[in-house]
Amino acid sequence: MTSDERPVGRVLSVNRGGSHSFSKTPVWGIRLLAGIGVEGDVHAGPTVTHRSRVARDPQQPNLRQVHLLHSELFTELTPAGFALGAGDIGENITTSGIDLLALPSGTRLHVGATAVIVITGLRTPCVQLDRFKPGLMKAMIGRDACGAVIRKSGVMGIVAAGGDVAAGDPISVELPSGPHQAMTPV
């Protein structure tokens, strides 16, 4: 662990999906493959695998190999009538204790014993959220005190170092050197 790295959270659930369905199934463990993503997941690969992105340019790099979502969002959305659980909105890793949305682009998340995920940007809420639960897309978009849009549907990353990840594993944060680069949608 480097001086810039500190343990801040845990893996609450790991989830995988082998087909282009919206939700992913919680599983006992997943294997992250460097430069690829989650072994056996439909979104794994060095180039884009999300259907809309493949249609535009199948050779673009896959900056969305792993989707991470903070479980605290489930609690936030419950009063609005949305009962969500791990994997429901397609995330591979459901976290606890980390403010994922506040991290700068390029942050390295050390997950479990060996895996490292580099945060590439924000997941953009899309119409699939409303197909899953009507009104969910609007609930996933907020505004900060200055009126700027807050996209709450998690962050995306690439796998820099592979390894096995399971529920209960620690997550440590290594911030990038240099100025904070706010995440943008990828």
For 25-54, give one letter per residue: b (16+ CB within 10 A) or e.
ebbeebbbbeebbbeebbbbbeebbeeebe
| pLDDT score at 52 | 82
| pLDDT score at 28 | 97
CB-side neighbour CA atoms (13 Å) of 124:
8
pLDDT in tens, the chain (186 residues): 444 556 689 999 999 999 999 999 999 999 999 999 999 999 999 999 877 887 888 899 999 999 999 999 999 999 999 999 999 999 999 999 999 999 999 999 999 999 999 999 999 888 999 999 999 999 999 999 999 999 999 999 999 999 999 999 999 999 999 899 999 999
Cα 154 to chain centroid, rounded: 5
| Superfamily for domain range 5-174 | PK beta-barrel domain-like (2.40.33.20)
- Which phi and psi (to 5°) does residue 129 adopt? -60, -45
| pLDDT score at 1 | 46
- Cα–Cα distance, 28 to 13 (Å, whole number): 8
Pairing of β 66-70 and β 93-96: parallel
- Cα–Cα distance, 134 to 51 (Å, whole number): 22
CA separation, residue 102 to residues 21, 89, 151 (Å): 28, 20, 11
